[in-house]
Amino acid sequence: MGNEEVIMEKKKKLGLVPRLIIGIILGILIGSFLPEPIIRVVITMSTLFSTFLKFVIPLMILAFVTMGIADLTQGAGKLLATTAGISYASTLVAGTCAFFVAITLFPKFISADVIQSIGNPEEGMLDSFFSIPLTPIMDVTAAVALAFILGLCISSMRGKEIGDTCYNFFSEFSKIINKVLNVVIIPLLPLYIMGTFANMTVSGQTFAILSVLWKVFLVVICLHLIYLVILFTVSGTISKKNPIGMLKNQVPGYLAAIGTQSSAACIPVNIKCAESNGVCQEIRNFVIPLCANIHMAGSMITITCCVTSVLLMSNMEINLGIIVPFIMTLGIAMIASPGAPGGSIMSALPFLPMVGIGTESALASLLIALYITQDSFGTACNVSGDNAIAAIIDLIYKKFIKKEEKKESDVSEDAEAEPEGN
């Protein structure tokens, strides 16, 4: 009877995907029908969780990326360079393709009078009753840099006393962070998503913008999905995995990203998605947190389309010579973007003069409004693309790095055995 009860409990337990969907639906319903004080209670709980999540994210990156690199023992530098190169190439290709589509389609339904109908999606949003000042011990970029240094050093020093001591410390540290993720963050993620959607709904501005520019956003979302299908098809072909199965396994990560609007916040869910795709532990713990900060294909598609829209509305010059240097620069600049909703567009602001938009102009505000309205889908594309890259890096690691490691190990064993034979 005891075993039957355990089985029944497992059956009754909802999976992450249904809980995320329920969170989205409840958020829209709460924002639409409940009185303001109750909505603010939900938003307050969501804000508190968001504050805690932002505190944990740098620790998560430090733990997982450090251990991911340290566990590689060999080829860490090569894999780091390969991952960064593939991520940057993916971001550039996504942005360039998005521009060609946007410049072809958008002139057919965008006019200058559209600007008069646009509002700021942040207007009308409710504040939480209170917040707790919990400042992260370091920002995300610093955490990534420190994790690189520690991981590479520990990897090269394994087998020596100091290397083993540091390795054991970060091994225990990563277990602690993993416990926090499984016990606190992942179970409460639907609450965070519910609060986000409740606030978006009550503001009304998001849906007002969508009603005016729905054709632009439809094109952007289609581009996200098409790019993901192509990316997973290429990744699946290279890694000899079923692309459809990989896309199916990515659904929890995609939905989590839609709700959180943060690549960093989705790291724990995305690591589980990578595990479902058969990516080994050392690679998924290394690639997923890294790509959450350097792979911005979805955000690049969104920004490129939004910039093109704004320039067309304003009858300003736009061509390949203007947009390509902007995309190339932005691909690097977004590495330092904060892991929060709208982080990528905030990183893009200093570079808007490259396309003729002033940093503090009305057009910049319009661009921010357009971007934030559909930031969820850009983040979902970023997050999902990370797992396509992870599968490729996993293949490179298993086929080339581990093979080299095994060969070196065999040579070493043969050298030790030779004197005995003589």
Q: 10-19, 122-131, 232-241: which range is least confident on average? A: 10-19
Average pLDDT over residues 178-193: 81
Helix ranges, 181-266 (H): 186-203, 205-239, 243-249, 251-260
Average pLDDT over residues 152-176: 81
pLDDT at 178: 79
Q: What is the pLDDT of residues 230-287, one digit of tens each?
A: 999 999 999 889 999 999 999 999 988 887 777 877 888 899 999 999 998 888 888 8
Is the confidence at residue 5, as pLDDT, over 70? no
| Residue 253 amino acid letter | G
pLDDT at 15: 66
11 pLDDT tier (thresholds 50, 70, 90): very low
64 closest CA partner among 134, 140, 165, 136: 140
Q: What is the pLDDT of residues 369-413, one digit of tens each?
A: 778 777 888 889 999 999 999 999 999 888 877 755 555 544 444
Is the confidence at residue 143, as pLDDT, over 90? no
Q: What is the pLDDT of residues 318-366, one digit of tens each?
A: 888 888 899 888 887 776 565 555 667 777 877 888 888 877 666 776 7
Share of the chain above pLDDT 90, in %: 21
Domains detected in the chain: 15-401 (1.10.3860.10)
Q: 80-94, 162-176, 356-370: which range is least confident on average? A: 356-370
pLDDT greater at residue 393 or residue 140? 393
Is the confidence at residue 311, as pLDDT, over 80? yes
Gap between the Cα atoms of 368 and 345, Å rounded? 7
Measured in whole angstroms, the distance separating CA 170 from the mean position of its chain's CA atoms is 24
pLDDT at 205: 60
pLDDT greater at residue 402 or residue 50? 50
Gap between the Cα atoms of 35 and 33, Å rounded? 7
Is the confidence at residue 226, as pLDDT, over 90? yes
Is the confidence at residue 192, as pLDDT, over 90? no
| Alpha-carbon separation of residue 36 from 4, 41, 43, 50, 373 (angstroms) | 45, 9, 10, 20, 22
pLDDT greater at residue 390 or residue 130? 390
Close Cβ partners of 74 (under 8 Å, ≥ 6 residues apart): 155, 401, 404, 405, 408
- Chain mean pLDDT for the chain: 80
Q: 17-21, 54-58, 388-392: which range is least confident on average? A: 17-21
Tokens 């992870």: give the residue.
390
Is the confidence at residue 10, as pLDDT, over 50? no
For 214, which DSSP code?
H
- State the DSSP string of 17-81: HHHHHHHHHHHHHHHHHS-HHHHHHHHHHHHHHHHHHHHHHHHHHHHHHHHHHHTT-SSHHHHHH
Close Cβ partners of 117 (under 8 Å, ≥ 6 residues apart): 208, 212
pLDDT greater at residue 21 or residue 176? 176
Gap between the Cα atoms of 51 and 56, Å rounded? 9
pTM: 0.71
124 pLDDT tier (thresholds 50, 70, 90): low
Tokens 């659904």: give the residue.
251
Share of the chain above pLDDT 70, in %: 80
Assigned token pair, 373: 């309205």
Is the confidence at residue 183, as pLDDT, over 90? no
6 pLDDT tier (thresholds 50, 70, 90): very low
Phi, psi of 159, rounded to the nearest 5 degrees: 100, -20
Angle of helix 140-157 versus helix 76-105 axis, rounded to 10? 150
pLDDT greater at residue 190 or residue 114? 190
